[in-house]
């Protein structure tokens, strides 16, 4: 089985963010892991609208809590995105099957979890006292860096015009 990156959302609260992230996972071949409680129902229209018709193609797993996630993914290399991290997301090497974890929109990842994984916490640089980026944007930034570092394995790297040819 080919290596695949994994996106982990810790207690996501906003359905449109999760829907957008699901669509990004389908487009990149990443798996999505949702750690409960969720701030919405997965049947909500907002999830399906944001994920469009891609949601049915999504490889998604739900967990009751962080402990269950760890039990079911033993030995997983987990990089945790937080505004509190001492290193940026570009300063680490992402393995082709690693897990990229993001916290809930209102509070992020709990500090006790961050402390237990401090060697793999990363941040996206921002100006001043900006609280954070939108969750789906943050996921896309870090995920695409991990994909870039792994040479965009199995991804389509060229596009084609519909009416013309590139010179």
115 pLDDT above the threshold of 70: yes
Examine residue 14 and state whether it is found in any structural domain, yes or no.
Answer: yes
Cβ count near 20 (within 10 Å): 21
Examine residue 91 and state whether it is found in any structural domain, yes or no.
Answer: yes
DSSP three-state, residue 137: helix
Flag whether 113 is marked binding. Answer: no
Examine residue 95 and state whether it is found in any structural domain, yes or no.
Answer: yes
What is the mean predicted confidence (pLDDT) over 134-142? 97
With CA atoms as reference, report the closest residue to 72 among 6, 17, 21: 6
Examine residue 139 and state whether it is found in any structural domain, yes or no.
Answer: yes
Q: What is the pLDDT of residue 49?
A: 64
How many structural domains comprise the chain? Answer: 1
Residue 21 is part of which domain span? 6-149
Which CATH number fits the domain that encloses residue 65? 3.40.1280.10
- DSSP annotation of 74: T
Flag whether 43 is marked binding. Answer: no
Examine residue 163 and state whether it is found in any structural domain, yes or no.
Answer: no
User: Does the reported pTM lie above 0.95?
Assistant: no
84 pLDDT above the threshold of 60: yes
- DSSP annotation of 40: S
Flag whether 35 is marked binding. Answer: no
Would you say the C-alpha torsion 12, 36, 92, 158 has a positive or negative sign?
negative
47 pLDDT above the threshold of 60: yes
Q: What tokens does 4 get?
A: 């695949």
Examine residue 1 and state whether it is found in any structural domain, yes or no.
Answer: no
């Amino acid at each position: 089985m080919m290596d695949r990156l994994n996106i982990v959302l810790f207690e996501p609260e906003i359905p449109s963010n999760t829907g957008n992230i699901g669509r990004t996972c389908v487009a990149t071949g990443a798996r999505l892991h949702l750690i409960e409680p969720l701030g919405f129902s997965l049947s909500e229209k907002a999830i399906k609208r944001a994920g469009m018709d891609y949601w049915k193609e999504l490889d998604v797993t739900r967990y009751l809590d962080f402990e269950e996630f760890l039990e079911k993914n033993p030995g997983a290399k987990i990089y945790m995105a937080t505004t509190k991290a001492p290193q940026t997301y570009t300063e680490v090497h992402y393995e082709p099957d690693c897990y990229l974890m993001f916290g809930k929109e209102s509070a992020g990842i709990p500090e006790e979890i961050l402390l237990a994984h401090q060697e793999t916490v990363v941040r996206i640089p921002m100006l001043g006292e900006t609280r954070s980026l939108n969750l789906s944007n943050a996921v896309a930034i870090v995920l695409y860096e991990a994909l870039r570092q792994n040479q965009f394995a199995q991804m389509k790297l060229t596009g084609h015009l519909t009416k013309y040819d590139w010179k």
